[in-house]
Amino acid sequence: MSFKENKTEITALGEFGLIKHLTKDNKIKHPETVKAVGDDAAVIDVGDKYMLVSTDLLLEGIHFDLTYMPLKHLGYKSIIVNLSDIYAMNGLAKQVTVSIGLSNRFGLEAVEELYKGITLACEQYNVDLVGGDTSSSRQGLIISVTAVGEISKEKVTYRSGAKFNDLLVVSGDLGGSFMGLQLLEREKSVFSENPEIQPDLGGNDYVLERQLKPEARKDIIEQFEQFQIKPTAMIDISDGLASEVIHICDQSGCGANIYDEKIPIDHTTYQLARDFELDPSVVALNGGEDYELLFTVAQSDYDKIKNNPHFTVIGHITDKASGINLIAKNGTSHELTAQGWDAFLRKEKGL
C-alpha cells in the first residue's frame, strides 16, 4: 500500500484534531475503563480506588535540544512532565516506566547522567521506577515515560467538571519556561555565529530553572487535601494557559472570562519578555511547559483560595453561548484563541 496517493496533510488537523480523528471509533470493551482518551490521564477502576495512567514521548530536536539541556535535567524533566498529568487528575503518582532509544552518539556516561536525573525525580516525588524498554535509535535520543497513580473515587477531577459561575484558578506563575527557552535559543544562535562570545545568562536563574528543571505541583494536590478544597475541573498547563482554558471549556460545555491583569507573571519573566519585545501576557497565555495547574472551584470554596499565595483567581466560568473571552486591562473583551508556540512567535516577531 502506498501512503503517497491521496495524502492528507496532518498539519491541517492539528495535534488535537489528529488525536480525535484517530480515536473516534475507539470502542471501550471493559467496564473498568472509566475514562479513556481525552483527559490528562486514563482512569481505571481497580476496586476501591481508581488507577491513573499517563504517557508522554520526548524526542531530541522536537522537545529538547542537548546543546543547552544537560542530560541530568532532561531525565528529571521527563519524569516531571508525566507526574504533572497524574496530579492534574487530583491523584498521586506511584510508579513510572521509562523507555529510551539511543543513537550511537551516546555512551554509558551520558545515559548514566540521564538516569541520575530520573532517579532524583523519583526520589523527590516518591515514585518507583518499575520498568521500561531500551532500544537503539537511528537518530537522536528518544524518551518515553508512563506514569501510574491513584486517586480515591470521589476525588478524581476531570477536565469536564466546570460549572457555571465557578472560579478559574491557576497555581504559581506562567510564561517563565517559555522565556527560559527564548533565552537559551538566543544564546545558542549567538554562540553558533561567534564561538568566542560566552553565553550571557546572568540574572535569569528563575526562567532557566523553569525551562531546564521544572517541578510538578504535587504540593498543590496535598494542599487540596489539607484545606478540603474540591476542584470541579482541572488540567495541567503544558501547552499554554489559553489552550488549557479552551480544553476545560470545551469538555465542560461552558464559556469563560479570564482577566489579563490577573494572570500571574513573575517579574523576571515580565522583564525578559519586555527585553525580547514580547507582550508578557501573550507569553503567559501561549508559552508552554509551565506545568502549573489550572482548575475551577465553586464560589463557596473562594475563602479557602483567596489568601493562599500559591493560587491566583484569573476569571470565572460562564455559559457556552458567551464564549471564551480574555478581558483586556482596558476592559475590552476578545475571544481567546490558542496559538501554537511557533505561530505565536512568528506573529510577535512580524514574520
Find the shortest distance in angstroms from Cβ 78 to ligand ADP: 13
Which range binds Mg ion by CB under 5 A, 27-35, 123-131, 237-245, 328-336? Answer: 237-245
In whole angstroms, how far apart are CA 234 and each of 23, 35, 230? 22, 15, 10
Instruction: By CB under 6 A, tell whether 19 contacts ligand ADP.
Output: yes
Find the shortest distance in angstroms from Cβ 331 to ligand ADP: 33
Which range binds ligand ADP by CB under 6 A, 17-25, 64-72, 142-150, 311-319? Answer: 17-25
Instruction: By CB under 5 A, tell whether 60 contacts Mg ion.
Output: no
Helix (H) and strand (E) counts in the chain: 11, 13
Q: Side chain identity at 318, as an amino acid letter? A: T
Break the chain down into helix, strand, coil percent, rounded to 5.
40, 25, 35
In whole angstroms, how far apart are CA 14 and each of 44, 63, 331, 338, 339? 28, 17, 32, 12, 11
Which range binds Mg ion by CB under 5 A, 62-70, 84-92, 109-117, 319-327? Answer: 84-92
Find the shortest distance in angstroms from Cβ 269 to ligand ADP: 22
Can you tell me which of 40, 173, 266, 292 binds Mg ion, judged by CB under 5 A?
40
Q: Which does 38 bind (CB under 5 to 8 A by kind): Mg ion, ligand ADP, none?
A: ligand ADP
Residues 101 and 223: their CA atoms lie apart, in Å, by 37
Residues of this chain, 67-86, that bind ligand ADP according to CB under 6 A: 85
Q: Which does 39 bind (CB under 5 to 8 A by kind): Mg ion, ligand ADP, none?
A: ligand ADP
Instruction: By CB under 5 A, tell whether 289 contacts Mg ion.
Output: no
Find out whether 49 and 152 touch, Cβ atoms under 8 Å.
yes
Q: 96 or 273, CB closer to ligand ADP?
A: 96
Instruction: By CB under 6 A, tell whether 140 contacts ligand ADP.
Output: no
Q: Between vectors from CA 209 to CA 244 and to CA 193, what angle results, nearest 5°?
A: 100
Can you tell me which of 10, 28, 37, 197 binds ligand ADP, judged by CB under 6 A?
37
* Neighbouring C-beta atoms of residue 120, cutoff 10 Å: 16
Which range binds Mg ion by CB under 5 A, 82-90, 123-131, 134-142, 282-290? Answer: 82-90
Residues 112 and 129: their CA atoms lie apart, in Å, by 15
Q: What are phi and psi of 321, to 5 degrees?
A: -65, -25
